[in-house]
């Protein structure tokens, strides 16, 4: 399969840590990028490559990869982190791009 | 600062052709991949296709028979055409830059264009 699989939803208490995972065969070869999307807005990249945060993204966002699974971790989660999160990478063929199905993060 | 500005018709009838254009301001057009991504109401992101730094195009297999993505490097623009639209093509359509062919990321996005297909 060339798809990327994510859990549909996770809930985290304010100030706690949440990990979002993304599974797919293509991740054995390629790194995932991670995007945050809030209602009515375009997605923004929060992490890419091995563990690179674009300018302006807080250090509480970090990433890792093992085998076919990439993870996005939010440490000391804030209320403004409530959003949908998508992973993305090249597919196994190297010609196509794929997005994960998305994970809705709810902050209590 | 790079900015992507997109435009095109927002309401179509079934069987018509969707046509959107995205202009790139404030940065180089060459050396990057330029994609279209869509998001149906209440659903996730779907990659439609790209024109890459070599001038070639790659398409989502599920849309390949109906999609054409082209570029006009003289204007720093790229365009999407999707033929024979149906209600299933109703979505917000985004243009976006994919920075590095192998690792991305999508670092700049257009503002999104809502497209509704309805008779």
Q: What tens digit of pLDDT does each residue of B48-59 get? A: 999 988 889 999
Q: What is the mean pLDDT of chain A?
A: 95
3-state SS assignment for residue A60: coil
Using the beta-carbon criterion (under 8 Å), do A33 and B110 form an inter-chain contact? no
Average pLDDT over residues A2-18: 94
Angle at B103 between CA B100 and CA B108, to 5 degrees: 55
For residues B82 and A57, give the distance between their C-alpha atoms in angstroms, rounded to a whole number.
35
Nearest CB neighbour to B44, from listed A33, A48, A99: A99
Chain A residues interacting with chain B (CB cutoff of 8 angstroms): 30-31, 33, 35, 37, 42-45, 48-49, 54, 84, 86, 88-90, 94-102
In sequence order, the 6+-apart residues with CB closer than 8 A to the CB of A85 are A6, A20, A34, A35, A36, A37, A46, A72, A102, A103, A105
Q: Which of B82, B46, B52 is nearest to B64 (CA)?
A: B82
Supply the DSSP symbol for A2.
Answer: -
Chain B residues closer than 8 Å to A97 by CB: 35, 47, 50, 58, 98, 104
**Tokens (6 digits) for B63:** 């849309």
The answer on pLDDT for A1 being more than 70 is no
pLDDT grade for A50, boundaries at 50, 70 and 90: confident
| Residue A63, number of CB atoms within 10 A of its CB | 24
Is-contact A34 A85, C-beta < 8 A? yes
Strands A44-47 and A33-37: antiparallel
Chain A residues closer than 8 Å to B46 by CB: 99
Give the pLDDT confidence of B92-115 residue by residue, as tens digits: 999 999 999 898 899 999 999 999
| B96 membership: H or E segment, kind and range | strand B91-98
Q: Which of B41, B31, B55 is nearest to B93 (CA)?
A: B41
For tokens 């033929």, what's the residue? B83
Is-contact B34 B50, C-beta < 8 A? yes
């Amino acid at each position: 399969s060339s798809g990327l699989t994510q859990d549909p939803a996770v809930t985290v208490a304010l100030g706690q840590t949440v990990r979002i995972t993304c599974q797919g065969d293509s991740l054995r070869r390629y790194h995932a990028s991670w995007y945050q999307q809030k209602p009515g807005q375009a997605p923004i990249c929060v992490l890419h490559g091995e563990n690179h945060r674009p300018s302006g993204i807080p250090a509480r966002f970090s990433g890792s990869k093992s085998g076919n699974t990439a993870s996005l971790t939010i440490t000391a989660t804030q209320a403004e982190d409530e959003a949908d999160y998508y992973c993305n990478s090249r597919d196994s063929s190297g010609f196509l791009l794929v997005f994960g199905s998305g994970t809705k993060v709810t902050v209590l | 600062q790079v900015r992507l500005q997109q435009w095109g018709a927002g309401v179509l009838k079934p069987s018509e052709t969707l046509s959107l254009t995205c202009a790139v301001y404030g940065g180089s057009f060459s050396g990057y991949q330029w994609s279209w991504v869509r998001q149906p109401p209440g659903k996730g992101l779907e990659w439609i296709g790209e024109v890459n730094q070599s001038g070639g195009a790659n398409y989502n297999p599920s849309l390949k028979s109906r999609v054409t993505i082209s570029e006009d490097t003289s204007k720093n623009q790229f365009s999407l055409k999707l033929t024979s639209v149906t209600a299933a093509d109703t979505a917000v359509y985004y243009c976006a830059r994919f920075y590095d062919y192998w690792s991305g990321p999508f670092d700049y996005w257009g503002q999104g264009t809502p497209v509704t297909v309805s008779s």
